[in-house]
């Protein structure tokens, strides 16, 4: 069998070219599949990381703190999250830059984890500050209520002390009498015979009342609502008191008997006479006298 060398070489060359083309095509297909897979992975990772950072941004926007230092940290970290998210959006997943993109994505993932840790720390700090704030508000409210209660108790005690320190009077008794020719007094129940009214009463013992001079005023109202033996009026601020007689007594915290005689300035009328006793403008008590 005769073989043409030129034809043989040609066939060998063709075979080699076919094998090379097939190998190159297989390599190209494999490289394309690998690149496409890497690109899909990068796109998926980019989308996933973008979503996670968007959630972090939303959580930061929801955080609110009145603490200036913490607020500054929140704003700074929130800014870093937004910058990182922007970098992810700009990240290209082209086949030419897959290696660079993968490295950049790894860096962004690390930065994202750091931001998440920072977020957890800031959230805990924010919650702690809010709890401390509420505790302070609660404590202040409690102290305010305690002070108010103590003030009310003090005011109530002062009222009781003030009231207890006032003098009081009792055992009021009034009689009408006339003076006969021998200067003897004779009690009478007849208006036509009456010339004077005598009033007696007792100022009670009070150990906490202030000692000293007490100004007493006697007011006698006749059956026609006129003041008997009108001595004029004494003023106490916006109030005035018309009185029939006045007396200054020296009080020393002990029982004090007081008697006064009020002469009629005109003939007594038949009927009821109302007799009141005042310390300044404060009513101590009184009694009633009936004349026929």
pLDDT tens digit sequence for 263-273:
988 999 999 99
Of 120 and 169, more confident = 169
Q: Model confidence at 14, in pLDDT bands (50, 70, 90)?
A: low
Question: Looking at the domain assignment, is residue 160 inside a domain?
Answer: no
Question: Which residues, 6 or more positions from 103, have their beta carbon under 8 angstroms from its beta carbon?
Answer: none
Domains: count for the chain: 2
Pairing of strands 196-203, 256-263: antiparallel
Percent of the chain with pLDDT strictly greater than 90: 37
Task: Write out the two tokens for 110.
Answer: 């690390």
In which residue are the tokens 């800014």 written?
A: 79
Of 76 and 20, more confident = 76
Distance (Å, whole) CA 273 – CA 57: 91
Task: Write out the two tokens for 193.
Answer: 């015979």
- How much is the pTM? 0.50
- Predicted local distance difference test score (pLDDT) of residue 3: 46
Which domain, by its residues, includes 280?
A: 169-291
- Predicted local distance difference test score (pLDDT) of residue 128: 77
Distance (Å, whole) CA 241 – CA 88: 93
Question: Looking at the domain assignment, is residue 275 inside a domain?
Answer: yes
- Predicted local distance difference test score (pLDDT) of residue 104: 59
Based on the domain organization, do 190 and 104 belong to the same domain?
no
Last-in-domain residue among 113, 134, 155: 134
Residue 248, classed as helix, strand or coil, is: strand
188-220 pLDDT per residue, tens: 999 999 999 999 999 999 988 899 999 999 999
Based on the domain organization, do 101 and 174 belong to the same domain?
no
């Amino acid at each position: 069998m005769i073989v043409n060398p030129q034809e043989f070489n040609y066939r060998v060359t063709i075979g080699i070219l076919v094998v090379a083309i097939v190998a190159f095509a297989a390599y190209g297909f494999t490289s394309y599949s690998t690149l496409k897979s890497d690109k899909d992975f990068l796109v998926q990772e980019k989308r996933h990381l973008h979503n996670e950072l968007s959630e972090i941004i939303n959580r930061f926007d929801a955080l609110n703190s009145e603490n200036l230092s913490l607020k500054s940290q929140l704003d700074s970290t929130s800014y870093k999250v937004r910058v990182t998210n922007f970098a992810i959006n700009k990240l290209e997943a082209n086949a030419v830059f897959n290696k660079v993109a993968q490295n950049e994505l790894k860096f962004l993932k690390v930065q994202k984890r750091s931001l998440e840790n920072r977020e957890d720390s800031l959230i805990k700090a924010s919650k702690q500050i809010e709890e401390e704030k509420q505790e302070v508000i609660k404590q202040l409210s409690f102290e305010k209520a305690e002070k108010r209660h103590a003030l009310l108790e003090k005011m109530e005690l002062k009222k009781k002390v003030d009231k207890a320190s006032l003098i009081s009077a009792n055992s009021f008794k009034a009689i009408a009498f006339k003076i006969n020719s021998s200067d003897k007094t004779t009690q009478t129940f007849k208006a036509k015979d009456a010339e004077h009214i005598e009033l007696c009463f007792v100022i009670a013992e009070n150990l906490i009342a202030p000692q000293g001079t007490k100004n007493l005023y006697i007011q006698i109202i006749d059956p026609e609502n006129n003041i008997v033996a009108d001595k004029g009026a004494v003023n106490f601020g916006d109030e005035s008191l018309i009185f029939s007689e006045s007396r200054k007594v020296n009080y020393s915290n002990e029982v004090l008997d007081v008697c006064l005689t009020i002469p009629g300035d005109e003939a007594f009328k038949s009927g009821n006479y109302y007799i009141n006793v005042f310390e300044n403008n404060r009513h101590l008590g009184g009694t009633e006298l009936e004349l026929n």
